[in-house]
Amino acid sequence: MKYINKLTILLLISFSATFAQEKLTKEQALKIALENNYSIKIAKNNIKIAKNNASIYNSGYLPKIIANASGNYSINNTELTNRDGVKSEINDAESQGYNASIGLNYTIFDGLGRSYNYKKLKETYNLSGLEAKTIIENSVLQIFTLFYEVARLDENAKIILESLNISKQRLKRAKYSFEYGQSTKLQLLNAQVDVNNDNINYINTLRSLANAKRDLNLLLGRQINTKFTTNTNIKFTAIFELPTLLEKAKKYNIEVLKSNKNIALSNFDLKVSKSKLLPNLTLSGFYGYNNSKNDASIFTNQLSNGLNTSLNLTWNLFDGGTSKTRIQNSKIIKDNLLIQKEQIENELERNVSNSLEVYNNALFILRSEEKNVETSKRNFSRSKEQFILGQITSIEFRQAQVNLLNSKSNLNQSKYLTKNAELKLLQLSGELLNTNF
């Protein structure tokens, strides 16, 4: 009776802890990750850096304004000798000088290099957005994969616990049978071994579940030991056709979009290299103020101020072939990027075809596992009746129990493998972030 009371208290505590846990949905997990995931945070900061780089302040279009000011003071003793050998001395002669200026430098024309650089910075900003989207996609895929792994292990734990309860009932029955001389010690020992094995399996599954939850919390960027439960319901809403998938993939796949951006950037690099062949026209001007005093000079005080401007044209007619080499290399780099894009598109077509094959096979296996579970349930139900009536041995009953456990576990695993295959297809087609899960 004392043991039963302790067990009841433990069950109540366990129920209360489960009831207090957060019910984490896929939508909530995604929202938390977008706000807290470490990789996503860094990606967002990189976008901010690219945005700053693409600003007008980093374009070279704005003039440079420079202000200077200085002052000096000195006291000197001076001895002067003229041609006739007459000497004169000036002692404690003060010398003071003050000057200030403000100047402006502006490039009027630089062969359009500034314009192409500015456009390149804009494209780099767009590319950084795609880089961030890549990180977000990969993070979301990881999060959903782990989310479904937690759900799978949670459901597995329930399946194993159900089997463990069946084994305990069988052990209880074996004890009674042994006590009343209706069975041998061997049957009792077999039942105890099966309970121990199921118990170990259950504990190992709970440990794996706890580890998976910590892994998911880490990806969500929150406290590692945050308690939560998940929804184990899975729905398959996506219908995939290979032509449609390939069309979407070539249009929306992140790697294809990044390849297009890199080609656009190489075009600007080529234009910037060609701009070095054209002249540069710069405007400069400054306003200066100078005031100097020197007791040892004929003019003891001198003051000047005024505006100075200049217009400079420079044209590098021949730079030893540096510009020519840069242009040739830019063309080769662009050709390489075009080849790389063709490779990416071919690999994408292969990956989409392979992933669709995996998904269709997973769906077929899932349907087959559903039928296996129904067959195993009927077999176990009939075996249980025969076992109670003493028509089959405990070993045969255990085999029916194990078959049911395995078929349920296989169905559970197949369900989540199919979902992961679906997620991979959605990522390849660029639809992962646009799908309601």
- What's the pTM? 0.81
**For range 104-108, the mean pLDDT:** 93
Give 210's contacts (C-beta < 8 A, 6+ positions apart): none
**For range 137-144, the mean pLDDT:** 93
Q: How far is CA 68 from CA 96, 103, 241, 249, in A?
A: 17, 8, 70, 58
**For range 419-431, the mean pLDDT:** 93
Band of the pLDDT at 258, cuts 50, 70, 90?
very high
Nearest to 148 by CA among 237, 233, 34, 40: 233
**For range 216-220, the mean pLDDT:** 95
Task: Decide: 327 and 270 in contact? Cβ < 8 Å.
Answer: yes
Helix H or strand E encompassing 284: strand 280-294
Extract the tokens encoding 348. Answer: 């994408």
Q: DSSP secondary structure string, 98-129?
A: EEEEEEEEEEEESTTHHHHHHHHHHHHHHHHH
Q: What is the pLDDT of residue 437?
A: 59
Task: Decide: 121 and 58 in contact? Cβ < 8 Å.
Answer: yes
Helix, strand, coil percentages for the chain (3-state, nearest 5): 65, 15, 15
| Pairwise CA distance, residues 406 & 232, whole Å | 18
Task: Decide: 95 and 295 in contact? Cβ < 8 Å.
Answer: yes
Higher pLDDT, 74 or 410: 410
Extract the tokens encoding 339. Answer: 């080849």
Whether 336 has a pLDDT exceeding 70, the answer reads yes
Count CB-CB contacts under 10 A for residue 110: 19
Extract the tokens encoding 190. Answer: 């077999």
Whether 55 has a pLDDT exceeding 80, the answer reads yes
Give me the residues paired with residue 181 across strands: none
Band of the pLDDT at 232, cuts 50, 70, 90?
confident
Give 107's contacts (C-beta < 8 A, 6+ positions apart): 60, 114, 280, 281, 282, 283
Q: What is the pLDDT of residue 247?
A: 94
Helix H or strand E encompassing 288: strand 280-294
For the stretch 296-317, pLDDT in tens is 666 677 788 888 999 999 998 8
Q: How far is CA 179 from CA 184, 187, 396, 421, in A?
A: 9, 12, 22, 53
The residue type of 128 is S
Percent of the chain at pLDDT > 90 equals 69
Nearest to 424 by CA among 368, 369, 341, 360: 360
Which phi-psi region, left, alpha or beta, contains residue 95 (left: φ > 0; alpha: ψ -120 to 50)?
beta
Q: What is the pLDDT of residue 281?
A: 93
**For range 362-386, the mean pLDDT:** 95
**For range 124-146, the mean pLDDT:** 94
For tokens 């404690």, the residue is 92
For the stretch 3-44, pLDDT in tens is 334 433 443 444 444 445 788 998 899 999 999 999 999 999
Q: What is the pLDDT of residue 297?
A: 64
For tokens 């100047």, the residue is 103
Band of the pLDDT at 2, cuts 50, 70, 90?
very low
Spans of all domains in the chain: 21-62+111-279+320-434, 64-109+281-314
Q: What is the pLDDT of residue 379?
A: 96
Whether 362 has a pLDDT exceeding 60, the answer reads yes
Q: What is the pLDDT of residue 14?
A: 45
For the stretch 93-102, pLDDT in tens is 778 888 899 9
Q: What is the pLDDT of residue 227?
A: 94
Helices 113-179 + 38-53 axis angle, to 10: 170
**For range 188-215, the mean pLDDT:** 95
Calculate the average pLDDT of the chain: 88
Which phi-psi region, left, alpha or beta, contains residue 221 (left: φ > 0; alpha: ψ -120 to 50)?
left
Whether domain 21-62+111-279+320-434 has CATH 3.60.20.10: no
| Pairwise CA distance, residues 387 & 283, whole Å | 101
